[in-house]
Structures are given as C-alpha cells and as structure tokens.
Amino acid sequence: MHSGYYDLEAVAEGVRDGAHRQIIGGLWDEIGDHQMAFLKAQGLTPNDRLLDVGCGSLRLGARAIAYLDAGRYFGTDISETLIDAGRAQELDDALRARAPRDHFAVNDDFDFGFLPEPVDVAIAQSVFTHLPFNHLRRCLARLAPHMAVGGRFFVTYFDCPEDADLYLPRRQEPAGVVTHDYQDPYHYRMSDLERAVDRAPWRYQPIGDWNHPRGQQICVYVRT
C-alpha cells in the first residue's frame, strides 16, 4: 500500500462516520479557498476545462464547479466513496447538475480516458505528497494526450533541497510534517520533478512557495 488512501474500506468507514472532510486532510475552507485563489491568480477562467487529479471529496471541486461554466469541471480519485460523499454532501442540486457523475472517474492508475475533450488546466493538490515517484511519471505520461497544447498541470509536493540528504526524514515547516524519500508523506527534489517528465510532451517549470498551510510547494508542467 502506497498510502492510507489505498485502504478503500477504511476510507469508506471514515466517510460513513461523517469524516469525508477530515480524511482528505481537513483545513477544508483554508485549503479549498487557497487552491481556488491560486488557480484564479494563474489565469483560470470560467470557460476553461479543469481536471482535479485526486479530487477526493471535492474540497476544490465545490468551489471550482461554482466558478466554472457548467460542464467544465472533471475529477478523478482512487476512492469512489470520497467522490460520492463530496457530490452528495458538498454540492447542492444546481452544482451537481453542473458536474454530473460521468465527469468523475475512479481509478488508481491515472486513466483519463473518460475525458471527452482535452482539458486546459489540471491540478493535483496533496496527491503526489502521498505517492512514490513512478506514479507522478505515469500520471504525466497518461495525462499528456488529454491536455490542450499550452495547458498547465499544477502539482504540489514536499521539497527536498538539492544539497540536502534525500534519504533522511525532513521536517516541513510551518506545520512540522515529517516527510521521507520512500514512504508517505514523500518529499522530492526539484530535479526529480523535472525528471518525471521522461519522454512525455511537458515542460517543467518550478514555482515554489505558494503559502500552503502545511508547507507544500507547487510546480507546473506545461503541455508542449
């Protein structure tokens, strides 16, 4: 198991107990608003198609669906229970109609074949912080055919500076999260993030600090 999110039964049990917000990390309003403000500052417009990779229970989704034109939001997650809880409990009827169930896919191998058209913007917020390197490389390879040329994929990560020892645990401020090279939560070097492009048509661009409350950094992959 790469992370606790792969224990789908435990996740479902937590959702049954009413914890769909806590399971995806809590700080519901703070991190939801933070993502939305960041994407708008990066130029997201209501007409863009947005893909939320590892959308969970729609912390960003609830906000993005309200902002985007109807039918422009798409989400994927390993947990159907989280997606369904988000749709049932975080969206009202009007918002559910703007993001119908077939705008969501459930899989753990980054299969984006459900997307009807290329998307303009994608984000994976606090997803690759829970996954090993090969998952990021696979995600980039499989997402590329579904991104518009010039489209941007924002990815958050915990940083390990190039001159630091990758193999020691790192304390990430301001929240004191302890990250690792080989277990969840993971840290990465910038050079890892760049190397993850492999042969896929992306250009890696560092961004860095985006004032995330748990100290995650962000970078962007631009579809070439």
Ligand X SMILES: C[S@@+](CC[C@H](N)C(=O)[O-])C[C@H]1O[C@@H](n2cnc3c(N)ncnc32)[C@H](O)[C@@H]1O
DSSP-derived letter for residue 180 is B
Cβ-based neighbours of 175, under 8 Å, separated by 6 or more? 213, 214, 215
Binding footprint of ligand X, residue count (CB under 6 A):
21
Site for ligand X in 92-111 (CB under 6 A): 108
Cβ-based neighbours of 134, under 8 Å, separated by 6 or more? none
Peptide bond before 174: cis, by omega within 30 degrees of 0? yes
Shortest Cβ distance from residue 165 to ligand X (Å)?
26
Interface segment toward ligand X; rule CB under 6 A; list 37-45, 130-138, 157-165, 171-179: 130-138
Three-class SS state of 143: helix
Spatial distance between the Cα atoms of 90 and 178, rounded to a whole number of angstroms: 30
Binding mask 136-175 vs ligand X (x if CB under 6 A, - otherwise)?
A: ----------------------------------------
127 binds ligand X (CB under 6 A): yes
Interface segment toward ligand X; rule CB under 6 A; list 14-22, 120-128, 166-174, 205-213: 120-128
Shortest Cβ distance from residue 162 to ligand X (Å)?
26
Are the C-beta atoms of residues 124 and 96 closer than 8 Å to each other?
A: no
Shortest Cβ distance from residue 151 to ligand X (Å)?
18
Spatial distance between the Cα atoms of 59 and 207, rounded to a whole number of angstroms: 22
DSSP-derived letter for residue 69 is P
Binding mask 43-82 vs ligand X (x if CB under 6 A, - otherwise)?
A: -----------xxx--xx---------------xxxx--x
Binding site for ligand X (CB under 6 A): 5, 24-25, 31, 54-56, 59-60, 76-79, 82, 108, 125-127, 130-131, 135
